[in-house]
Amino acid sequence: MIRNILLPTIFMLLAYGFWISPDFKEITAGVAIFLFGMLALEEGFKAFTGGLLERLLRRTTNKLWKSISFGVVTTTLMQSSSLVSVITISFLSAELITLAAGIGIVFGANLGTTTGAWLVAGFGLKVKLAAYAMPMLVFGVILIFQKSRNLKGIGYVLAGMGFLFLGIHYMKEGFDAFKQTLDLAEYAIAGYPGLFVFALIGIAATVIMQSSHATLVLVLTALAAQQITYDNALALAIGSNVGTTITAILGAMSSNEKGKRLAGAHLIFNLVTGVIAIGIIHQLIIVVDWISYNIGIAADDYTLKLAVFHTLFNLLGIVVMIPFINRLVIFLERVIATPAPDVETPIYLSASSAQIPDAALEAVRKETVRLYDWAVDIISQSLSLKREMLFSEQSLEDIVAKSGRVAVQDIDYLYNRRIKAIYGAIIEFISHARGSAGKEQDEGFATLRQAGRDIVEAIKGTKHLHKNLKIYMVSSNPHIRQEYNKIRVQIARVLRELETLQNSTDEASTILSLDQLKMEISERDIISTGVLDSLIRENRITAQMATSLMNDSAYCQDICRDLINMGSILFVTSDPGEKEAEQIVALDEIEIQQVIEKHDEVKTNEGN
């Protein structure tokens, strides 16, 4: 409702401003060009988020000071705290970093945004930027039309910087011309009333433009043209800092609870920082004057002094909040709790993660592992086996023999509630994420999608198997009961081996360890081994039992193969070189059959 009213209101105000003043058009056009430059700059840096930035993020978040430093450095380089926030939320959603590390990055990003004020105040307002903007736009646009992803990225960065410089130029020229017809400084408000009024204006401007950088540049250009007073400019800077949290909150609306917690931390940090800055504004001005004097800033160079103030109060906020980060994490996790839905929903997938290829890939991998975990519950219950017994040290034959009671389970209900919903979300997420993925990530998405499909196929096979299993595992015929118990043991053995592989810390646990399982499955095929023919010939089971056993044995084989294929994707080494080497030496189905036939031939010769 508010959004529906806000946009027409902004259009009406802009139209009125265009009508009464041509200079207002130049200022607003400068803001629009600057904002477009910010979008182009973000788009350019996204082209380089396919590896280096993600690896750097993983290695620089194990300590708080590293997280803060990462936020400062990346925001300084990219001049986009929103892009840093998107990357941080995506990694947090995929649980690649902790909430405390994410909060540290956000704190650092806030400090990193202050470098933009230094660049504009120290360089942008003292040099004719349009002369630099034009060549950047020309070269940038040419590179944007190239096929190479990296060249496109460089093109967007150059074009973005060109638009930023051009926007600053038009804002500066507009305010200089505007002063000849209307002096906005006449509307200055002194004291704390002015502080609160202009802080609110700063918040509103940042929310409308969705960029604290744009608000700050607008303030600096207006201050340089003496259209606003120094005191009111300080209040606008405080307001822009608080206003940027609204942008973060809007961005986190499409994220999961982890992203919402980070946006909450951002809001609390900027509110606390803003309140502190307003409360001790006079003391901060004295400190700014002292710092400016000692680093050689002239007493009347208010634009650079504003940059000093912007840096000082953000740094003060970090110093104040650092001791409370752990308490803030506990508070946010309690207030923004993980919901318990009627239908299972993904916990690692989010819209923000889909924009960063490496984070998206890790999110899919973790969600697929979670899907498998649910599958283990369903399969073990279908086999009437308790999970804790299945993964114990006890003999599977003994466990199966003692668990003769059928556990009544609605497999369809469990499948629809847990498996179908998550698997559908994974497929949809992969479709969106592959659009910005490189070749290596695209291959990773393809294999993970196959792993998810194997899990779903295993569940579907279990659903078919369960129909006869619950009948024959309690049958009065000991022979059919024994054969179905063998099926239960075979599937349980695969699950136990996969559990061992998943939890193993031994690097020697590789795809080769699954070959033995594949051979065991082929060796125990009741048709090729002649077991089924023997049971029928000796009248141990009826024809109806034989048909059911033959079909269910095939289901068992398919379930085991699907699970093993899934395990070869999810639970083996993640190093691409090692995985490729293992795949080369691993046995395929034909080779496994040849090994079994040779083994049988040797046994036959030994018997003769």
pLDDT tens, residue by residue, 143-195: 888 877 778 888 887 888 788 777 767 766 665 554 555 455 666 677 778 88
Same domain, 372 and 305: no
Q: 578 falls in which pLDDT band (50, 70, 90)? A: very low
Q: 585 falls in which pLDDT band (50, 70, 90)? A: very low
Residue 602: its pLDDT value, please?
Answer: 44
| Contact indicator for 24, 18 with CB cutoff of 8 Å | yes
392-406, 508-522, 550-564: which has the minimum mean pLDDT? 508-522
Q: How far is 153 from 162, CA to CA, in rounded Å?
A: 14
How many domains is the chain partitioned into structurally? Answer: 2
Q: 253 falls in which pLDDT band (50, 70, 90)? A: low
Residue 455: its pLDDT value, please?
Answer: 92
Among 278, 305, 335, the domain-final residue is 335
Same domain, 255 and 148: yes
In a domain, 342, yes or no: no
In a domain, 344, yes or no: no
In a domain, 7, yes or no: no
Same domain, 536 and 436: yes
Q: How far is 59 from 66, CA to CA, in rounded Å?
A: 9
Q: 266 falls in which pLDDT band (50, 70, 90)? A: confident
Percent of the chain beyond pLDDT 90? 3
Residue 453: its pLDDT value, please?
Answer: 93
Q: Taking 50 as the threshold, does the pLDDT of residue 587 lie above it?
A: no
Q: What is the DSSP track for 539-594?
A: TSS-HHHHHHHHHHHHHHHHHHHHHHHHHHHHSS---HHHHHHHHHHS--HHHHHH
Among 303, 335, 367, the domain-final residue is 335
In a domain, 414, yes or no: yes
Q: Which residues contact 426 (CB under 8 A, 6 or more apart)?
A: 346, 349, 364, 367, 368, 371, 448, 449, 452
pLDDT tens, residue by residue, 20-71: 666 667 777 777 777 777 677 667 766 655 555 556 666 666 677 888 888 8
The residue ranking higher by pLDDT, 100 or 208, is 100
- Mean of the per-residue pLDDT values of the chain: 77
User: How many helical (H) and strand (E) elements, i.e. helices and strands, does the chain have?
Assistant: 29, 0
In a domain, 17, yes or no: no
Same domain, 200 and 86: yes
| Contact indicator for 124, 107 with CB cutoff of 8 Å | no
pLDDT tens, residue by residue, 402-437: 776 666 567 777 787 778 888 888 998 888 887 777
Residue 186: its pLDDT value, please?
Answer: 63
Parent domain of 481: 351-607
Same domain, 287 and 404: no
Q: 516 falls in which pLDDT band (50, 70, 90)? A: confident
- 108-131: average pLDDT: 70
Same domain, 359 and 487: yes
Same domain, 380 and 438: yes
Q: Which residues contact 402 (CB under 8 A, 6 or more apart)?
A: none
Same domain, 297 and 416: no
Residue 568: its pLDDT value, please?
Answer: 84
Same domain, 323 and 395: no
Same domain, 147 and 296: yes
In a domain, 121, yes or no: yes
Q: Taking 80 as the threshold, does the pLDDT of residue 282 lie above it?
A: yes
In a domain, 345, yes or no: no
Distances (CA, A) of 130 to 75, 124, 166: 24, 10, 5
In a domain, 322, yes or no: yes
Same domain, 421 and 315: no
Dig out the tokens for 413 from the structure. 């209900």
Same domain, 182 and 266: yes
Residue 450: its pLDDT value, please?
Answer: 92
The sign of the CA dihedral 485, 490, 491, 494 is positive
- 254-261: average pLDDT: 73
Q: Taking 50 as the threshold, does the pLDDT of residue 208 lie above it?
A: yes
Residue 592: its pLDDT value, please?
Answer: 45
- 360-388: average pLDDT: 87
Among 277, 311, 335, the domain-final residue is 335
